[in-house]
C-alpha cells in the first residue's frame, strides 16, 4: 500500500514579499507508525530531512505551511524544468502536409505542420520553415475553420523529414 503524504512549503519566516517556498517537504507514516519527513532535492528526488521539524519548531528562521499535492507537484516540476515546458510529455507529434484541394503528394505541400497536446492540456501547433525550423502557427485551425484553403493530409515522422529535404533542395535550385 502506498503511503499517504502530507506536503509542506518551507519558507523564510515572515516572507511577506511572496518570493515563494525555498523547499517542499512531505511527511508520511509507515506501517509501524513511524513518521518520515522528506525534502525534494532536484538531483536526488525525495530524501530524508530534518528541515520540516526544524521549521515547525521555529528553528533556522523558517516556517512550514501545509500545501496541496498539486502545489507540491508544480514546485517539483519547476525545479526539474518541466513547469515551463509545453513540449509533449512523450516527445511525439502528429504531422500533416498542407496541400491544395486537388493535390495529394508531399512534393506539392505548401507546408508541413506538427501538432500535439501540452502537459498543461493545450492543443499546440508548429509549422516548419527552412530558416527558423519549427515555429508557432495556426494553420490547422485556419484550414478547419475555412479561413485558409486546402486540406491537411496526415503524414509520418519520416515524411516530415523528407519534406525538410525537399524544401532544402528547392532552395538550392532557386
Q: Where are the alpha helices (DSSP H) in the chain?
A: 51-57, 69-79, 139-144, 157-173
65 touches 11 (CB < 8 A): yes
Measured CA distances, 12 to 29, 31, 59, 112, 134 (Å): 26, 33, 11, 50, 42
Over the stretch 41-58, which tens digit does the pLDDT of each residue have? 877 789 999 989 988 887
**Calpha distance 143→166 (Å, rounded):** 23
**Calpha distance 9→82 (Å, rounded):** 19
**Calpha distance 69→29 (Å, rounded):** 16
Indicate if the pLDDT at residue 145 is higher than 80: yes
Indicate if the pLDDT at residue 93 is higher than 90: yes
Amino acid at each position: 500500500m502506498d503511503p499517504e503524504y502530507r506536503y509542506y512549503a518551507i519558507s523564510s519566516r515572515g516572507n511577506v514579499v511572496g518570493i515563494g517556498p525555498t523547499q517542499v517537504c512531505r511527511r508520511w507514516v509507515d506501517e509501524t507508525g513511524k513518521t518520515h519527513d522528506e525534502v525534494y532535492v532536484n538531483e536526488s528526488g525525495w530524501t530524508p530531512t530534518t528541515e520540516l521539524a526544524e521549521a515547525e519548531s521555529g528553528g533556522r528562521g523558517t516556517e512550514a505551511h501545509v500545501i496541496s499535492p498539486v502545489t507540491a507537484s508544480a514546485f517539483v516540476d519547476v525545479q526539474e524544468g518541466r513547469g515551463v515546458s509545453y513540449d509533449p510529455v512523450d516527445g511525439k507529434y502528429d504531422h500533416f502536409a498542407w496541400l491544395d484541394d486537388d493535390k495529394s503528394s508531399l512534393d506539392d505541400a505548401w507546408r508541413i505542420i506538427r501538432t500535439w497536446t501540452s502537459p498543461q492540456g493545450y492543443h499546440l501547433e508548429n509549422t516548419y520553415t527552412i530558416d527558423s525550423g519549427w515555429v508557432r502557427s495556426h494553420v490547422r485551425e485556419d484550414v478547419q475553420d475555412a479561413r485558409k484553403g486546402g486540406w491537411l493530409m496526415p503524414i509520418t515522422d519520416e515524411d516530415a523529414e523528407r519534406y525538410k529535404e525537399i524544401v532544402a533542395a528547392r532552395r538550392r535550385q532557386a
